[in-house]
Amino acid sequence: MSAIRRGRKFAIHDQWRQRMLSNNDWQHKHDQFLSTSQALLYTSEECLSHLELIPNDEDATGCLLTTLRKLGQEAEAASVPCIADFSHQLCVLLKTGHQAHELSQETLLTVKNCLMLISWQVELLDPQTGELPMDNNEQLELLEKLASGSTASTSAKDAARQ
């Protein structure tokens, strides 16, 4: 076998080995991300349940924001950008609404739907590649609904003050 053929054979073997290591690395990340994200989603749902009983509770809102922020960071670390971005955007919208004290029942229902969607997305991640075989249309719809609900509440409160 010539040196060139041996070189190609080793290069192909190295590429295959690197791909296998990447898959193994992702599988380890996937298992870790799956368990961590499920725990964070459970905590988020607990905070949300508390907010449904006691609207605008500072501690529950803070817990929800912190947990969503951690979920976004974990998704980012695990190379799952769709969940990371969605979690970060959700956090920003909730923080904006919270500062104006506007976590209405409609907002809480939308957040509950967001958490359910994230939960589904975590379950649907391909354990071999880490890819999510779905588009982000539902994420965008929920974020728009959350943003418009926050804007409508602000407008209504401003009108009531005048």
Dump pLDDT digits (tens) for 16-46. Answer: 444 443 566 777 788 899 999 999 999 999 9
The tens digit of pLDDT for each residue in 138-151 reads: 999 999 999 987 66
Contact, 127 vs 27, CB < 8 A? Answer: yes
The answer as to whether 160 is a domain residue is no
Q: Where are the alpha helices (DSSP H) in the chain?
A: 3-53, 58-77, 81-99, 105-124, 137-161
In terms of pTM, does the model score above 0.85? Answer: no
Which residue segment(s) compose the domain that 59 sits in? 3-153
- Contact of 107 with 149, CB cutoff 8 Å: yes
Query: Residue 52: which CATH number?
Result: 1.20.120.160
Report the domain count for the chain: 1
- Any domain includes 159: no
